[in-house]
Structure 1
Amino acid sequence: MTVTRYASGRKRHIPPGRPPFLGAALALVCGMVAIASGTAAPAPAAQTGPVPDIRADYTVYVGGLMFAEGSMHATLTDSAYLLRNSLGSAGLPSRVWDARWTMTSEGRIADDKLQPTRFTFSATEKSETKRRLMVYDASGTPELTFDPPLPPEEATTTQPFERKNTLDPVSAFLLPVIADGNPCDRKIPVFDGKRRYDLQLVFDKNDTVTTRDNGYSGEAVRCKVRVTPRAGMEPTRFTTMMRRRDDTLIWLARVDGRNIYMPVRVQLRTPIGGAVLDVVKLQQYATAEGPSENIAE
């Protein structure tokens, strides 16, 4: 039976078994880590296109229980990036809420900034699939396509000037730096096709971290993160919690011997308990120069 709730004077229909904040929570978590993936990520040989440089498998626990798991494949050059991601419900929640998301982001790397050119998003729940495409023009403004088209009550309220020079939620936390620069102390404008928000990172400390299952063990930079809604996000208890910088932490590690950082752990609070995203395996694929290796080793 569908549960009906009210928000901002409108009826909302929420599938049974799904916490009303969970979709937004997972979207923000995955956007904040730039690694999102499904329960069955394909092996490198099954992929088309460039062979990825890095694979990161991860889990998301909420309140001590596994909620989601997935993996990310990243192909990086000196001037471009391609990220292939998917995310799926897991553990006990998957028995009542079968959901999968896939995301792909590609674009250019210019010094310490990313310039996305194309972002695709696909969400499947109860055998129903919805797709989203964002293509960025020369000014850095994304044009939107939804399949099926959004109903009027779900249409984005953001204006083109609000979307200009934003990052999609996948590329938002692939953080290039210049030389030995600090990956924190920056504001990241994000637009996911519906919601526009800022991620404000503030340096906390240089740290060492060991993630779940020893997926990564080593040096990392710990940042405090504050989410500031700009457009398309209704005020909820969860978004209020995300605005508190001391409640959200992210650990960033340098990857692939480059001046590029990616998250290996994200920790935040939700209305039903603490959420932790951990990289459980971080691997560099084989190249012509040598065999593949586990970056954590």
Structure 2
Amino acid sequence: MTSIGGHGARAPLPTLRAVLAGVALLAAASPASAQGKLDARYEVTLAGIPVGKGAWVVDIADDQYSASASGGTSGLLKAFASGSGTGGSQGRIVNGALVPQVYSATVHSKKSETIRISLAAGNIKEFSIEPEPPIDPDRIPLTDAHRRGVVDPMTGSLLRVPGSADPVSPEACRTGGAVFDGRMRYELKLDYKRMEHVRAEKGYAGPVVVCAVYFTPVAGYIPDRAAIKWLAEQRHIEAWFAPIAGTRILVPFRMMVPTPLGMGVLEATQFVSTASPPRVAKSQ
């Protein structure tokens, strides 16, 4: 799973990976005093036709977090382009901020590819792609500066809202951030659009905040790739964010991404989150 704009011009499986990871955002710092878990299931449609399914599990503890996801093509699409993928991220919670430490993603289709990233204090320590991709002279070079001050795609999809007011609010959308997915560095900016009300088949029913999403590639991409140009020009990408109970973290409940073949939509069919009681230190 990678986030919007992750690996470029291939479809439809990369579209599935993109929407399942959610939109990558820089997690804002705020006091981390609450804990919770999310168990979500998603369906992906393209022009109203089911093309994929996925699962996402997030665990927010008092001083650490983890997230894992899996997905695959389904329905009619599976007859033409079968594929699947998994991904995960782990990190610490430091002064309220989500600080990623490791990220990995594996995609299986005609070929398999695994990306691994290790981070420290928002900077990339090491990263690898297996098998190693061929060098493309048209790709915008990545520099050391492009690997600083970033989050991985999975951590980026966990949107932390600062303050003490209801996190499902317009303030949640007033953010943006830098993402590195192992191949490409890009920027994402959010703007508030509106409030909506959603109801999953199982789990959450309540308000969501809808954010417009704007994608800007920075480095590690091929400028002539049609998918990159398309995403950079889009002004109608939306992410609908719902809360993880017991925390100030929002995650995508629905995502809407225009494509040349019609609207791509990821939507939660199950969104079950539970608050966890704070950990109590044992007495001596």
What residue number does 1:15 align with? Answer: none
What do residues 137-177 of structure 1 show as CA deviations (whole Å, max 9, x unaligned)? Answer: 35622411222223233988322210212111111120112
CA distance in 1, matches of 2:143, 2:183: 11
1:29 aligns with 2:19: yes
What residue number does 1:190 align with? Answer: 179
What residue number does 2:92 align with? Answer: 108
From 182, 187, 192, the equivalent of 1:203 is: 192
Instruction: Give how far 1:205 is off.
Output: 2.0
2:235 alignment partner, SS class = helix
What residue number does 2:221 align with? Answer: 233
CA distance in 2, matches of 1:201, 1:167: 16
CA distance in 1, matches of 2:155, 2:276: 24
Q: Size of the alignment, in residue pairs?
A: 252
- The 8 Å contact of residues 39 and 58 in structure 2, kept in 1 or not, is answered as yes
- The 8 Å contact of residues 246 and 274 in structure 2, kept in 1 or not, is answered as no
TM-score, normalised relative to structure 1: 0.76
Give structure 2 stretches of 5+ with no counterpart. Answer: 1-8, 25-35, 279-284
From 265, 270, 273, the equivalent of 1:281 is: 270
1:220 aligns with 2:217: no
1:133 aligns with 2:116: yes
What residue number does 1:91 align with? Answer: 75
- The 8 Å contact of residues 129 and 182 in structure 2, kept in 1 or not, is answered as no
What residue number does 1:79 align with? Answer: 63
What residue number does 2:130 align with? Answer: 147
1:164 aligns with 2:148: yes
What residue number does 2:30 align with? Answer: none
What residue number does 1:39 align with? Answer: none
| C-alpha distance 245-185 of structure 1, shift in aligned 2 (>3 A) | farther
Instruction: Give how far 1:54 is off.
Output: 1.6
CA distance in 2, matches of 1:261, 1:58: 16
Output the amino acid matched with 2:159. L
1:153 alignment partner, SS class = coil
Instruction: Give how far 1:215 is off.
Output: 6.0
Task: Write the mapping of 1:234-273 to structure 2, written as runs, cut at 5 A.
Answer: 234-235=222-223, 236-244=225-233, 246-273=235-262
TM-score, normalised relative to structure 2: 0.79
From 97, 104, 128, the equivalent of 1:120 is: 104
- The 8 Å contact of residues 237 and 271 in structure 1, kept in 2 or not, is answered as no
Output the amino acid matched with 2:220. G
- The 8 Å contact of residues 244 and 274 in structure 2, kept in 1 or not, is answered as no
CA distance in 1, matches of 2:153, 2:121: 20
CA distance in 2, matches of 1:214, 1:244: 35
- The 8 Å contact of residues 216 and 264 in structure 1, kept in 2 or not, is answered as no
| C-alpha distance 286-186 of structure 1, shift in aligned 2 (>3 A) | closer
1:281 alignment partner, SS class = strand
2:81 alignment partner, SS class = coil
| Structure 1 stretch displaced more, 244-253 or 223-232 | 244-253
Instruction: Give how far 1:220 is off.
Output: 0.7
Instruction: Give how far 1:22 is off.
Output: 3.0
Higher relative contact order (CA 8 A, sep 6+): 2
1:246 alignment partner, SS class = coil
1:102 alignment partner, SS class = strand
1:234 alignment partner, SS class = coil
CA distance in 1, matches of 2:13, 2:142: 20
